[in-house]
């Protein structure tokens, strides 16, 4: 029985080999070697439960939703809305009405920037982000700020890759109309104290968006406990399909926001003189959505719930400690980001070996890591490097794969020097 079928694994005791059997791609070879997939911060692999949900929808359930009275339409609608309800429970949202399906975290940030913030932003106002944000949590705010004559403020971080809370709090003073923060840094693995940071902002009446794309696959998230107004994440980073994600928001905030896009299903009635809009969340879901993706998103959530996030977090913390300790012995390797609170991400450089060369040599050994700026160029600039190599872990990552990575890094050194 797979985890998706109901096997609950005790916290701290993941049966990783059993879980790996749920992921078909992990059985393949690359360049004659078993695949060691260590690029999970970019996207995770998909279990058979998720793949099967997509296949089943197209083979047995394919119909448009919210529109038809025939059997298939009602079935597809029910499954899509069941997925929304499951996602709401997964992150502690009070109601499914506060969950908007989007293409991913990037679209969710754009929706909030243009629908929520733009009408409230005036010349001289400010938006506060952090120095470790993904481009998706920088560029939309820059675009809106540029159009409205507002400024972008940046909360700095220290040499360990931790946000400096005194500086963050100081920057909250003045005409700040929005705070947008990463829950977990994709480039450094830093877990930010977002509950405390949200509380500081909301004490000043400032709304907060949290980018949870790198948090929800790795730790328990409860949006009510965090206190944020908006929480965004993507399905594909949590064992779900690409092209879908969620914006979770306070219902009263969504109710006050104008539609982001116009089209079918986001309306109540249309004439050439006037259109009246639908209730939330339909108001923000114009057109036929990624129905198969939404249903499979719900399956990915079910998979994580059945595995147990406490066990996932403990397993990844163990992998991180093992990786950091073993990689420290690789000659010339330097870690980028050494925060005390970190998720399963290790970012590193060699001063005399380009990260792309590191990645290419490891690939020939069947080891997949990410090299580059990780859509976080300001982070690279802060640490004075053009790029890093990054290994990132998941619930199916093994100690043996970490050991292969370390041996591969020793090979990189021997080949390049």
pLDDT of residue 417: 80
Residue 231 to residue 228: CA distance in whole angstroms: 7
Residue 160 to residue 144: CA distance in whole angstroms: 31
3-state class (DSSP) for residue 285: coil
Catalytic residues: 375
- Are both 194 and 99 inside the same structural domain? yes
Nearby residues of 5 by Cβ (< 8 Å), 6 or more positions away: 49, 306
pLDDT of residue 286: 94
Residue 126 to residue 397: CA distance in whole angstroms: 42
- Are both 272 and 152 inside the same structural domain? yes
Domain boundary among 253, 288, 305: 305
- Are both 115 and 22 inside the same structural domain? no
> What's the domain count of the chain?
2
Domain boundary among 305, 321, 350: 305
Residue 37 to residue 398: CA distance in whole angstroms: 10
- Are both 141 and 257 inside the same structural domain? yes
Contacts of 338-342 with CB under 8 Å at 24 or more apart are: 338/160, 338/161, 339/160, 339/161, 339/162, 339/188, 339/189, 339/190, 339/191, 340/160, 340/162, 341/162, 341/190, 341/191, 341/193, 342/188, 342/189, 342/190, 342/191
Q: Check which CATH number belongs to the domain holding 381 and give it.
A: 3.90.1150.10
Peptide bond connecting 281 to the previous residue in cis, omega within 30 degrees of 0? yes
List C-alpha distances in Å: 97 to 75, 256, 284: 20, 14, 11
Q: Check which CATH number belongs to the domain holding 79 and give it.
A: 3.40.640.10
- Are both 18 and 147 inside the same structural domain? no
pLDDT of residue 315: 97
- Are both 352 and 411 inside the same structural domain? yes
Write out the two tokens for 349: 């450089």
Mean pLDDT per block of 10 residues along the chain (417 residues) reads 39 84 98 98 98 98 94 97 98 97 98 98 98 98 98 98 98 97 98 98 98 98 98 98 98 95 91 93 95 98 97 97 97 97 97 97 98 97 97 98 98 94
pLDDT of residue 7: 42
Burial of 60 (0-12, 13-18, 19+ CB in 10 A): exposed
- Are both 317 and 191 inside the same structural domain? no
Cα of first residue to Cα of last residue in the chain, in angstroms, is: 49
- Are both 103 and 143 inside the same structural domain? yes
For residue 60, what are the β-bridge partners?
Answer: none
pLDDT of residue 4: 39
Nearby residues of 318 by Cβ (< 8 Å), 6 or more positions away: none
List C-alpha distances in Å: 346 to 185, 267, 380: 11, 46, 14
Nearby residues of 252 by Cβ (< 8 Å), 6 or more positions away: none
Write out the two tokens for 211: 């980018």
Domain limits at 14? 3-46+309-416
- Are both 157 and 12 inside the same structural domain? no
- Give the closest residue to 387 by CA, choosing from 342, 345, 354: 354
- Are both 210 and 316 inside the same structural domain? no
Whole-model pTM: value is 0.95
Q: What is the C-alpha R_g of the chain?
A: 22
Domain boundary among 305, 340, 367: 305
- Give the closest residue to 211 by CA, choosing from 380, 375, 390: 375
- Are both 106 and 146 inside the same structural domain? yes
- Are both 256 and 376 inside the same structural domain? no
């Amino acid at each position: 029985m797979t985890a998706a079928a109901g096997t609950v694994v005790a916290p701290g005791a993941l049966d990783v080999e059993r879980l790996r059997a749920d992921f078909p791609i992990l059985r393949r070879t690359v360049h004659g070697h078993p695949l060691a997939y260590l690029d999970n911060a970019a996207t995770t692999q998909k279990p058979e439960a998720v793949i099967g949900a997509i296949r089943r929808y197209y083979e047995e359930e394919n119909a448009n939703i919210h529109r038809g009275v025939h059997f298939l339409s009602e079935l597809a609608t029910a499954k899509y809305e069941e997925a929304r309800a499951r996602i709401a429970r997964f992150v502690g949202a009070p109601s499914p009405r506060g969950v908007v399906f989007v293409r991913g975290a990037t679209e969710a940030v754009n929706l909030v920037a243009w629908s929520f913030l733009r009408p409230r932003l005036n010349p001289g106002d400010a938006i506060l982000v952090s120095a470790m944000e993904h481009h998706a949590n920088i560029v939309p705010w820059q675009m809106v700020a540029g159009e409205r004559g507002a400024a972008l403020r940046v909360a700095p971080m220290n040499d360990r890759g931790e946000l400096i809370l005194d500086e963050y709090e100081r920057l909250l003073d003045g005409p700040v109309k929005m705070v947008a923060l990463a829950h977990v840094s994709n480039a450094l693995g830093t877990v930010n104290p977002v509950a405390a940071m949200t509380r500081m902002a909301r004490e000043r009446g400032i709304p907060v968006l949290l980018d949870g794309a790198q948090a929800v696959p790795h730790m328990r998230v409860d949006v009510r406990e965090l206190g944020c107004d908006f929480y965004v994440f993507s399905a594909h980073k949590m064992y779900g399909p690409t092209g879908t994600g969620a914006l979770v928001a306070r219902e009263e905030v969504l109710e006050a926001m104008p539609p982001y896009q116009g089209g079918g299903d986001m309306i109540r009635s249309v004439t050439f003189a006037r259109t009246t809009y639908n209730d939330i969340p339909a108001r923000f879901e114009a057109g036929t959505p990624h129905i198969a993706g939404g249903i499979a998103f719900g399956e990915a959530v079910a998979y994580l719930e059945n595995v147990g996030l406490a066990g996932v977090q403990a397993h990844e913390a163990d992998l991180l400690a093992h990786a950091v300790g073993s990689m420290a012995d690789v000659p010339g390797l330097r870690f980028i980001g050494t925060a005390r609170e970190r998720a399963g991400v290790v970012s590193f450089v060699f001063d005399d070996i380009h990260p792309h060369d590191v990645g290419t040599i490891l690939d020939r050994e069947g080891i997949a890591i990410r090299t580059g700026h990780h859509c976080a160029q300001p982070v690279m600039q802060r640490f004075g490097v053009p790029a890093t190599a990054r290994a990132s872990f998941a619930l199916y990552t093994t100690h043996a794969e970490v050991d292969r990575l370390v041996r591969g890094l020793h090979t990189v050194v021997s080949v390049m020097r």
